[in-house]
């Protein structure tokens, strides 16, 4: 319990340092653009590929589970759309990003710590926590909602291709399904989750990297911890947000 409270205390203190006034906003702006490219744009391909196949599998599974003639065919489109919006494009994508982005953040900051680059920043009078973490946080919070939207669109398209090529339904049924009983609030719910998950992935991974001590072995461990803790917190907050927003 004491260990947990110590961790929480350090995490809150780190966030306090992260959200302090930047020394030179123009330098932070440049760094944010760099992180947008590195953490954001570089994740588009993996998210698109995974979403395409997730959408395809969801659609095919729905096709095979709704073969009863009493079920209308358009349910496949509706099921794929809602599955992608409510869960796959935000939560599952966040778990994937925790692996890709989280481990990258933890290992980058951890390596800077063990090679004294963070000490060098501190000696110069730079708030290292803010300079290293704030641009990453801004970049992921800005870009991850776009990744979610891309994931929704690509996932639904993947479902369309799979169900019309391999399934037994017409494109018209699928398109009718994805338009049927659409609730715009689901998109807001999905984006809210994405923002919270982006915050968790970035800050938890940065925390693990920032306080690493030792050598390359410890950096590797910090990277693993960053992914594990980020995933656990994503799953926990998924339940909390769902209960708060959909109940």
Residues found near another protein in the complex (CB under 8 A): 23-24, 27, 111-112, 115-117, 119-120, 122-127
Secondary structure (3-state) at 227? helix
Supply 133's token pair. Answer: 């973490």
Supply 119's token pair. Answer: 């000490």
By beta-carbon proximity to another protein, the closer residue of 122 and 172 is 122
For the bound state, the minimum distance from the C-beta of residue 119 to another protein, rounded and expressed in Å, comes to 5
For the bound state, the minimum distance from the C-beta of residue 20 to another protein, rounded and expressed in Å, comes to 8
By beta-carbon proximity to another protein, the closer residue of 61 and 127 is 127
For the bound state, the minimum distance from the C-beta of residue 38 to another protein, rounded and expressed in Å, comes to 10
Distance between first and last Cα of the chain: 31
Q: Is 66 exposed, middle or buried (0-12, 13-18, 19+ CB in 10 A)?
A: middle
**Residue 61: CB atoms within 10 Å:** 15
By beta-carbon proximity to another protein, the closer residue of 27 and 244 is 27
For the bound state, the minimum distance from the C-beta of residue 111 to another protein, rounded and expressed in Å, comes to 8
For the bound state, the minimum distance from the C-beta of residue 125 to another protein, rounded and expressed in Å, comes to 4
Which alpha helices (DSSP H) does 166-215 contain, by range? 171-179, 185-210
By beta-carbon proximity to another protein, the closer residue of 34 and 182 is 34
By beta-carbon proximity to another protein, the closer residue of 179 and 213 is 213
How far apart are the C-alpha atoms of 154 and 22, rounded to whole Å?
38
């Amino acid at each position: 319990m004491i260990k947990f409270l110590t961790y929480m205390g350090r995490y809150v203190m780190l966030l306090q340092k992260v959200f302090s006034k930047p020394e030179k906003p123009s330098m932070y702006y440049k760094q944010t653009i760099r992180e947008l490219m590195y953490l954001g744009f570089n994740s588009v391909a993996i998210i698109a590929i995974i979403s395409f196949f997730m959408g395809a599998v969801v659609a095919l599974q729905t096709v095979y589970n709704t073969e009863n003639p009493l079920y209308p065919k358009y349910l496949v489109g509706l099921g794929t759309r809602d599955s992608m919006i409510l869960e796959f494009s935000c939560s599952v994508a966040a778990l994937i990003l925790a692996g890709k982005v989280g481990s990258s953040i933890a290992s980058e900051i951890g390596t800077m710590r063990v090679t004294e680059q963070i000490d060098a920043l501190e000696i110069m009078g730079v708030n290292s926590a803010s300079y290293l973490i704030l641009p990453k946080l801004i970049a992921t919070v800005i870009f991850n909602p776009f990744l979610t939207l891309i994931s929704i669109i690509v996932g639904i398209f993947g479902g369309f291709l799979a169900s019309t090529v391999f399934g037994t339904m017409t494109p018209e049924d699928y398109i009718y399904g994805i338009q049927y009983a659409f609730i715009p609030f689901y998109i807001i719910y999905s984006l809210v989750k994405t923002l919270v998950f982006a915050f968790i992935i970035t800050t938890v991974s940065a925390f693990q990297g920032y306080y690493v001590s030792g050598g390359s072995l410890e950096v590797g461990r910090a990277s693993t911890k960053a992914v594990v803790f980020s995933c656990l917190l994503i799953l926990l907050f998924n339940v909390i947000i769902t209960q708060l927003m959909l109940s």
